[in-house]
Amino acid sequence: MAISIFGTKANNTDIVVKDTATGDVDLGSGDLTSTGTVTGNLFSGSGASLTALQSAQLTGALPAIDGSALTGISSIGTIVKMAAYEHTGTASGSGAFSSIGVAVTITPASTSNKILLFVTGSIGTDKNTVIGRFTENNAAVGIGDPSGSRPRCSFKIRGPHDNNHSAIFAGSAILSPNSTSALTYRVEFNAESNGTWYLNRSWNDQNGTNAPQGRSSTYLYAIELAGSNTTITT
């Protein structure tokens, strides 16, 4: 192998060697120092010592990276994740608060994050009013303040007050669970005078093609919101 020896640096035993066959330069264990510009088409090795890289000079697709050590990145989004439940069947209940058969489970990423609950659907009953409430791991949440013996609920529904029709309902709540454990949310109903309610159908539910006999669906959403971007004023 033909080599060219360019010389040695004072007080340094490393020799700068160029392979005349391949063009490779071997610095041994020495350092390459320059006050000018070093230009090349390909660089390999560890980038651990690279500093002061300008973001404007970085182009192309990034490789897969582990983001666990990234710092100084500000969140610009509010929705962290969402869980949803679709109930296309029917359900019924009577007496005290009872589950309507929908449930979602979500595990917050941070104790400072909030949970936004939203439910929508239709209900059949022969009563004037139905009250609904959310539960978190079977404990009532998002309900009104206590006042005497009045029932505490998350939302109220004005019933159709006849056997052939249904009422649309929607309810929401925003919570601060202060948890990173799995949380299961449900919806419960209580009809006036402990009457019976029917989810996604009318009371009499006759078999026919007329609109009042239509079957609907119910959806429950649990949406995790970034606490830094969400403010609850009471």
DSSP-derived letter for residue 205 is: -
Q: What is the pLDDT of residue 15?
A: 56
pLDDT tops 90 at residue 27: no
The residues near 125 (Cβ < 8 Å, ≥ 6 apart) are 159, 160, 167, 191, 192, 195, 196, 197, 198, 203
In this prediction, residue 71 carries a pLDDT of 65
At 146, the pLDDT band (50, 70, 90 cuts) reads very high
- Classify burial at 43, counting beta carbons within 10 Å of its beta carbon; exposed 0-12, middle 13-18, buried 19 or more: exposed
In one-letter notation, the amino acid at residue 38 is: V
Question: Max alpha carbon distance in the chain (Å)?
Answer: 102
Confidence of residue 42 (pLDDT cuts 50, 70, 90): confident
Say whether pLDDT at 75 is over 60.
no
CATH class of 79-229: mainly beta
Q: What are the angstrom distances between the C-alpha of 166 and each of 91, 202, 210?
A: 14, 5, 13
What 3-state DSSP class applies to 131? strand
Buried b (16+ CB within 10 A) or exposed e, 66-85: eeeeeeeeeeeeeebeebeb
Beta strands 129-136 and 139-141 are antiparallel
Tokens read off for 228: 């830094």
Residue 21's pLDDT is what? 65
Residue 166 buriedness (CB in 10 A; 0-12 / 13-18 / 19+): buried
Query: CA–CA separation, 80 vs 110, rounded Å?
Result: 10
Asked which of 3-17, 86-100, 140-154 is least confident by mean pLDDT, the reply is 3-17
Segment 181-203 mean pLDDT? 96
pLDDT computed for residue 217 by the predictor: 97
Residue 148 has a pLDDT of 98
Percent of the chain with pLDDT over 70: 75
Residue 180 has pLDDT above 70, yes or no: yes
Model confidence pLDDT, tens digit, residues 164-179: 889 999 999 999 999 9
Compute the average pLDDT of residues 132-148: 98
124: tokens are 């059949």
Name the β-bridge partners of 5: 17
The DSSP bridge pattern shows strands 196-199 and 91-94 to be antiparallel
Please say whether the beta carbons of 154 and 205 come within 8 A: no
CA separation for the pair 27, 39 (Å, rounded):
17
Predicted local distance difference test score (pLDDT) of residue 172: 98
Is the pLDDT score of 162 beyond 60?
yes
79-88 tens-digit pLDDT: 999 999 999 9
Mean pLDDT of 90-110: 96
pTM of the model: 0.70
Spell out the residues 6+ positions from residue 48 whose beta carbon is closer than 8 angstroms to its own. none
Domain boundaries, the chain: 1-31, 79-229
